[in-house]
Amino acid sequence: MKWKKMMIFFNTTKTTQNPPQEFLCPISGSLMSDPVIVSSGHSFDRISIEACKNLNFTPQLQDGTIPNFTTLIPNLNLKSSILKWTQSSQTKIQTNPNLKNTENLVRTLISSKKHEHHQIDVVSEKNDQEEETRQISILTPQKTSYSSSEESIATATSSSSTTPRPQFQSFCYSSPSSSELEPSTSPEEEEIVTKLRNPQQFIIEEALISLRKMTRTKEETRVQLCTNRVLCSLRTLILSKNEVIRVNALASLVNLSLEKVNKVKIVRSGIVPPLIEVLKFGSCESQEHASCVFFSLALDDDNKTAIGVLGALLPLLHALKSESERTRHDSSLALSHLSLVRSNRAKMVKLGFVSVLLGMVKSGHMMDQVLLILGNLAYGSDGRAAMLDAGVVECLVGLLGGTELDSELTRESCVGVLYALSHGGLRFKAVAKEVGVVEMLEKMEKMKSEKANEKVRRILEMMSEKEAEEEEVDWEELLDSGFSCQTMSRQNSGLDESSVN
Last residue of a domain, one of 338, 369, 389: 338
Q: Per residue in 345-387, pLDDT tens?
A: 999 999 999 999 999 988 888 888 899 999 999 988 889 899 9
Residues 334 and 190 in one domain: yes
- pLDDT attached to residue 367: 85
- pLDDT attached to residue 87: 84
Q: 324: pLDDT confidence band, cut at 50, 70 and 90?
A: very high
Is residue 10 included in any domain, yes or no? yes
Cβ partners under 8 Å of residue 367, min gap 6: 360, 361, 410, 413
Is residue 380 included in any domain, yes or no? yes
- The total of other beta-carbon atoms located within 10 Å of residue 267's CB is 25
Helix-strand-coil split of the chain, %, nearest 5 = 65, 5, 30
Overall domain count for the chain: 3
| Helix or strand run (H / E) with residue 140 | strand 136-140
**Considering only 106-120, 128-142, 303-317, which range has the smallest mean pLDDT?**
128-142
- pLDDT attached to residue 452: 85
pLDDT at 13 over 50: no
Residues 117 and 155 in one domain: no
- pLDDT attached to residue 397: 86
CATH number at residue 223: 1.25.10.10
pLDDT at 39 over 90: no
Is residue 43 included in any domain, yes or no? yes
Is residue 189 included in any domain, yes or no? yes
3-state DSSP call for residue 229? helix
pLDDT at 283 over 80: yes
- The total of other beta-carbon atoms located within 10 Å of residue 363's CB is 10
Nearest-angstrom CA–CA distance, 394 and 383:
16
- pLDDT attached to residue 351: 92
- pLDDT attached to residue 410: 84
Rounded average pLDDT over 461-477: 61
Q: Per residue in 408-465, pLDDT tens?
A: 788 888 888 999 888 878 888 888 888 888 888 888 878 878 888 888 888 888 888 7
Residues 106 and 178 in one domain: no
- pLDDT attached to residue 346: 92
Is residue 20 included in any domain, yes or no? yes
Domain that holds residue 255: 137-338
Rounded average pLDDT over 267-272: 91
pLDDT higher at 138 or 252: 252
pLDDT higher at 416 or 65: 416
Residues 120 and 144 in one domain: no
pLDDT higher at 475 or 196: 196
- pLDDT attached to residue 213: 92
Q: From residue 459, give the alpha-carbon distance in Å to each of 229, 421, 464.
A: 54, 10, 9
Nearest-angstrom CA–CA distance, 302 and 267:
10
Residues 263 and 379 in one domain: no
Residues 374 and 479 in one domain: yes
pLDDT higher at 23 or 93: 23
Residues 327 and 252 in one domain: yes
Residues 122 and 199 in one domain: no
Q: From residue 492, give the alpha-carbon distance in Å to each of 309, 350, 487.
A: 27, 20, 9
Is residue 346 included in any domain, yes or no? no
Tell me the pLDDT of the chain averaged across its residues.
Answer: 76
CATH number at residue 113: 3.30.40.10
Residues 86 and 216 in one domain: no
pLDDT at 82 over 60: yes
Is residue 221 included in any domain, yes or no? yes
- pLDDT attached to residue 19: 83
Single pTM value for the model: 0.61
pLDDT at 231 over 90: yes
Helix axes 284-298, 272-281, angle to 10 degrees: 140
* Cα radius of gyration rounded to whole Å, the chain: 26
Backbone angles phi, psi at 38, to 5 degrees: -100, 175
Residues 148 and 222 in one domain: yes
Is residue 355 included in any domain, yes or no? no
Residues 190 and 320 in one domain: yes
Residues 153 and 302 in one domain: yes
Last residue of a domain, one of 273, 308, 338: 338
Nearest-angstrom CA–CA distance, 386 and 350:
9
